[in-house]
Chain A
Amino acid sequence: MTTLTDDTLRVTPRAMRDELIAFTLMALLLASVPFTGVYPFFVMQALCFALLACAFNLLVGYGGLLSFGHAMFLGTAGYCSAHALKVWALPPELGILVGIAAAFVLSIITGFISIRRQGIYFSMITLALSQLLYFIYLQAPFTHGEDGIQGIPQGHMFGILDLSKPTVLYYVVLVGFLAGFLLIFRIINSPFGEVLKAIRENEPRAISLGYRTDQYKFLAFVLSGTLAGFAGALKVFVAQNASLTDVHWSMSGEVVLMTLVGGLGTVSGPVVGAFVIIAMQQYLAGFGQWVTVIQGSIFVVCVLTFRRGVIGEIAHYFRRSL
């Protein structure tokens, strides 16, 4: 079996330096958004999806496990956070924690079930599990079915940060995104991340070296699911609602698309991919259903000719790891 990305470079000091430079540039660029004419709501939304895509990429790009149900973490954390904020009237920081905890528990359960099968079976199981949750949320009273949970109070984070002010909210979301991104960056470059890559490249060999690959994959799944939940909890503050759209399986497809466009198994690829796809949806909204066709075409083109994605192609060209 060939690997997903054929040219992952070794983690060298130079590669680390490149990645840190890229990270600093990205952070500076994003931090300056409120001072430019760019619509902050669009960037916040894109940041939530970027975090989701990064979390997803941790699993597929480094663990070789294509989850086709990552929307279930986004949606579950969203619903739980929204419920905690609106019905239990918890402050924002605790509301986020409730969402993360829910995604954590869910990823343990679904990970335990799905990690037992590999390859496309794994994809199909995650897809089926997320569809199971979709129907549960469709019928459960606390999600309000088709209406979703709306009018969520944004509140004051830690009692001081007024999240109803767009600029404050923007920086909170940005800090959340950067924290998540750095955590993923750290995981990838840790010994754990190296083992994960080894499993992706050649699982039988990793087993013969004495690694309990199922445990590594399970841990990667839980980390990825929990971080995806973090993205879902942040998204509640941006969108001020939690709805069935976030749990539907087409959302999982969009996450895959973002990661694929940006570059599977590249550190910053999913961020670029998320911005590209969200911008596309924003500006092509007038085309109605043609957006689906365009997205499908991007899938096809990426898979046939552009498998490395935007960042992957750039990294390949410069022979750098990004």
Chain B
Amino acid sequence: MQALYAQLLVGLINGSFYALLSLGLAVIFGMLNIINFAHGAVYMMGAFVAYFLLNLGGINYWWALLLAPIIVGIFGMILERTMLQWLTGLDHLYGLLLTFGIALIVQGVFQNYFGSSGLPYAIPDQLKGGMNLGFMFLPVYRGWVVVFSLVVCLATWFLIEKTQLGAYLRAATENPTLVRAFGINVPRMITLTYGLGVGLAALAGVLSAPINQVRPLMGADLIIVVFAVVVIGGMGSIMGSIITGFALGVIEGLTKYFYPEASNTVVFVLMVLVLLVKPTGLTGRAA
């Protein structure tokens, strides 16, 4: 039973990353109509920025949690202004290809300087150790990751679904021209949205640094699983991405306990099954 709970916890943690990443993808897709293939690369950059902040600037984990998403988010906004912006009105496949190219560049540069092996990032002192919950031993940091990402996800959901700013955002997704006519700077909103989505990915990167080590390709393989998560969820709603993300993480964890051979493939198999039954995905709108 101990092993089962441990795998469930791992599943919840992976689910947190899936949720944060697919949430960012959904936000970006909503506004820019682009599947951000660079999402894995910016997740990795988040982890690296945290690493640099600690080792070069002596800035601790807590500040990294705030600063890394801002720094990477600014990088994302520059990308949007200098490149993605020019794709407006083109087939959205070009967005995918452009962001894929960006991902290759970013990952290639990091691989050149840091190789492919992992760099360690220590768990902050305040979150070291563990708690005995009676039925299992919970490392504090892992519990923190799950709770913190849940809070961030819900805050993002609140921002988009319940606030004035979110209302503008959703309106601009539906009809940018009309929203512009009301005097709202839609291009600036698009840039900020891209920054927000990228920032969420970077935040996931910082959270993952102490668990998974900091590696140039840490996002490259993860992103494909996240794409599968997105296909299953359908990216129709913000809440949909969050729930699907966590649920699939847990299912993956359970598979690792009951039938480890399938743990790498279970998400993809689920994707196939969902598509056969419901081609639009669980919460999806028609493509």
Q: Which residues of A contact B (CB under 8 A)?
A: 1-4, 60, 64, 66, 68, 113-114, 116-121, 123-125, 127-129, 131-132, 135-136, 138-139, 249, 253, 256, 260, 288-293, 295-300, 302-304, 307
At the interface, yes or no: B227 with Cβ under 8 Å from chain A?
yes
- Assuming the A-B contacts A1-B91, A2-B90, A256-B97, are A293 and B105 also in contact, with contact meaning beta carbons closer than 8 angstroms in the complex? yes
Contact B98 A249 (CB under 8 A): no
Contact B111 A292 (CB under 8 A): yes
CA distance A303 to B97 in the complex (A): 7
15 extra interchain contacts, Cβ-Cβ under 8 A, other than A293-B112, A299-B97, A304-B83?
A113-B275, A116-B279, A120-B93, A123-B93, A124-B227, A124-B228, A128-B268, A131-B228, A132-B265, A132-B269, A132-B272, A289-B108, A289-B111, A292-B108, A299-B104
Total contacts A to B, CB within 8 angstroms? 128
Contact B98 A66 (CB under 8 A): no
Q: Which of A68, A295, A303 makes the CB contact (< 8 A) with B87?
A: A303
Q: Which of A66, A114, A260, A303 has the most CB of B within 10 A?
A: A303
CA distance A132 to B95 in the complex (A): 24
User: What residue of chain A has the Cβ atom nearest to residue B216's Cβ?
Assistant: A289
User: What residue of chain B has the Cβ atom nearest to residue A130's Cβ?
Assistant: B224
CA distance A260 to B268 in the complex (A): 28
Within 8 A of A (CB), among B266-285: 268-269, 271-272, 275-276, 279-280
Q: Which of B87, B97, B109, B227 has the most CB of A within 10 A?
A: B97
Contact A121 B268 (CB under 8 A): no
CB neighbours (8 Å) of A135 from chain B are 264-265, 268
CB neighbours (8 Å) of B92 from chain A are 1, 119-120
CA distance A1 to B92 in the complex (A): 8
**Chain B interface size, under 10 / 10 to 19 / 20 to 34 / 35 or more:** 35 or more
Within 8 A of A (CB), among B71-127: 83, 86-87, 89-98, 100-109, 111-112
Contact B93 A4 (CB under 8 A): yes
Q: Which of A128, A249, A292, A304 makes the CB contact (< 8 A) with B271?
A: A128
How far in angstroms is the closest Cβ of chain B from A221?
15
Interface SS of A by simple majority: helix
At the interface, yes or no: B44 with Cβ under 8 Å from chain A?
no
CB neighbours (8 Å) of B49 from chain A are none
CB neighbours (8 Å) of B103 from chain A are 296
CA distance A243 to B96 in the complex (A): 27
What are the interface flags for B15-41 relative to A under an 8 Å C-beta threshold, 1 for contact and 0 otherwise? 000000000000000000001000000
A selection of 27 A-B contacts at a CB cut-off of 8 Å is: A2-B91, A3-B91, A114-B275, A117-B231, A117-B279, A119-B93, A119-B287, A120-B96, A125-B231, A128-B228, A128-B231, A129-B268, A129-B272, A131-B224, A131-B228, A132-B268, A132-B269, A135-B268, A249-B224, A288-B112, A289-B108, A289-B111, A293-B112, A295-B104, A296-B102, A298-B101, A299-B98
CB neighbours (8 Å) of A66 from chain B are 93, 96
Contact B91 A124 (CB under 8 A): no
CA distance A260 to B93 in the complex (A): 12
Contact B108 A296 (CB under 8 A): yes
CA distance A131 to B103 in the complex (A): 18
User: What residue of chain A has the Cβ atom nearest to residue B33's Cβ?
Assistant: A120
Q: Which of B104, B227, B276, B279 makes the CB contact (< 8 A) with A127?
A: B227
User: What residue of chain A has the Cβ atom nearest to residue B89's Cβ?
Assistant: A2
